[in-house]
Structure 1
Amino acid sequence: MSIKLAIVMPAYNEQDCMADVVKIWSNLLENGFATENTRLIVVNDGSKDNTGKILDELKLFYPKLIVVHQPNGGHGNAVVHAYRKAVELEAEYIFQTDSDDQFIPEDVKLLWEKRHQSKFILGHREVRHDDPFRLLITRILRYSMFFVYGTFIMDSNIPFRLIEGNFLKKLLAQLPNPVPFAPNIFLAIMAKKAGQELFNIPIVHKERATGEVSIRKMKLLKVCWQSFNELLDFRLTLNTKIKNLK
């Protein structure tokens, strides 16, 4: 029986909320997709706390849960690893979110209802509960993308997206190697340039109740500069990448 929907998420040092996050997203699969074959794939990105141990224990209670452990490679690397696992399982649809418990599963239906209209659908955090510096950097990147690509995407790096499985497989094949710092931005750009309607659907973003943001202030500025340069380099091959998606 083929997998209808795979939810994928990276996890790093989220021991305080990991059990709750697995529970709420597993409940979504059990209740919202009760008649479908589904999976929840969590990639433990070399957590230094008990996140990995907790995930392994949770597998005993949640048969749809797949846990992948990897050495710490960063958020983007873990996201791509999770995507590739879902593609390997031939999931028809793949939904990506984060493990920090800042989104509500009920909003998935807003994207799911559009699945026949687009192969790549994004949420949009109209009210975003992050520190002002991070919000400023996000805005700078948004307009940088418009300057470089002529493409305006409200929330290109949002970890709340629904992608058709076969289309994601093609997108992943076009990602730069090594994996860029923020691969979700590259995937969104390629999808938009390939003619997909991203919709940018407003969804709820909650304040973080546990854990800490792993990238702050000057480090965030540094990686944003890295991302900008990666986007500049990617522009040189974008037309070829888009042709390969056809």
Structure 2
Amino acid sequence: MPAYNEEECMADVVKIWSDLLDTEFAGENTRLIVVNDGSKDNTGKILDSLKPQYPKLEVVHQVNGGHGNAVVHAYRKAVELDAEYIFQTDSDDQFIPEDVKKLWDKRTQSDFILGYRQIRHDDIFRLLITRILRYSMFFVYGTFIMDSNIPFRLIKGTFLKKLLSQLPNPVPFAPNIFLAIMAKKSGQELFNIPIVHKERATGEVSIQKMKLLKVCWQSFKELLNFRLELNNKIKNLK
């Protein structure tokens, strides 16, 4: 879970996801890894203050590197801990933990499972960009993924380790898209399971309107370049 300037909801988010681990995965050796991506508010202090209350909470602080960078940092931390399964979500309190079971029930059928925001509560501009990206991916890769960048995904640890080794360097702006493409192209059934997406009640999205358009163009160029390497990347996953 990456976190950036989420002081208003951070304590609640840690509680609801920690409660999920304690109730649905009682007795299992689980961790909640939160990467504080150089927050300028009190997010980092709040996370540190919560550690005594939640022994499964692992807090990682890093210089601000962006959402994708923080996600990859969290993935690598999970792989270092030799996690059998890794679930990734965001810290903005727009998902409900109970939906994890929908993905968990499919874990023996695929190493890489995605949720899908069937009703997505974001502004019109962001929804339009997402739709453009979806069809751009189909144009570039011949691959249709309903919600390739969704921060609601379950990945088998051994498979994630292989995927991370094939990510471009430096880390692309939206690494979750690249991971989804590689997983799909390698033959994994992503399922695209409908999950609940709530309206954001606190804070604000860090990338808006023209800045969002700029980074989407950046992502599209990164995807085009990656197309030339994809076949070799997929071979390396075998």
| Fold in common (TM above 0.5) | yes
Residue-by-residue CA offset, 1:190-245 (whole Å, 9 max, x unaligned): 00000000000000000000001000000000000000000000000000000000
Question: Residue 179 of structure 1: SS of its match in structure 2?
Answer: coil
* Structure 1 ranges of 4+ moved more than 2 A: none
Query: In the aligned structure 1, how far is the partner of 2:210 from the partner of 2:201?
Result: 23
CA–CA distance in 2 between the matches of 1:218 and 1:204? 27
1:198 aligns with 2:190: yes
- 2:233 maps to 1:241: yes
1:213 and 2:205 matched: yes
Alignment partner, residue 217 of structure 2: 225
Tell me the SS of whatever aligns to 1:186: helix
Q: 2:85 aligns with which of 82, 87, 93?
A: 93
Distance 2:105 2:124 in 1: 33
1:164 Cα deviation after fit: 0.1
Q: What is the TM-score of this pair, normalised by structure 1?
A: 0.97
List alignment gaps of at least 5 residues for structure 2: none
Which residue is 1:150 aligned to?
142
Q: What is the aligned-residue RMSD (CA, Å)?
A: 0.2
Match in the other structure for 2:45: 53
For residue 29 of structure 1, report the CA deviation from its aligned partner: 0.1
- What amino acid does structure 2 have at the position aligned with 1:22? V
1:34 to 2:21 alignment? no
Would you say 1:164 and 2:152 are equivalent positions? no
- CA offset at residue 91 of structure 1? 0.3
3-state secondary structure, aligned to 2:237: coil
| One-letter amino acid of the structure 2 residue matched with residue 82 of structure 1 | A
**Identity across aligned pairs (percent)?**
87
> Residue by residue, what CA displacement relative to the aligned partner does 1:72-113 show, whole Å, maximum 9, x if unpaired?
000000000000000000000000000000000000000000
Tell me the CA shift for residue 35 of structure 1. Answer: 1.9
| C-alpha separation in 1, matches of 2:28 and 2:192 | 26
Structure 1 residue runs of 5 or longer lacking an equivalent are 1-8
1:23 paired residue number: 15
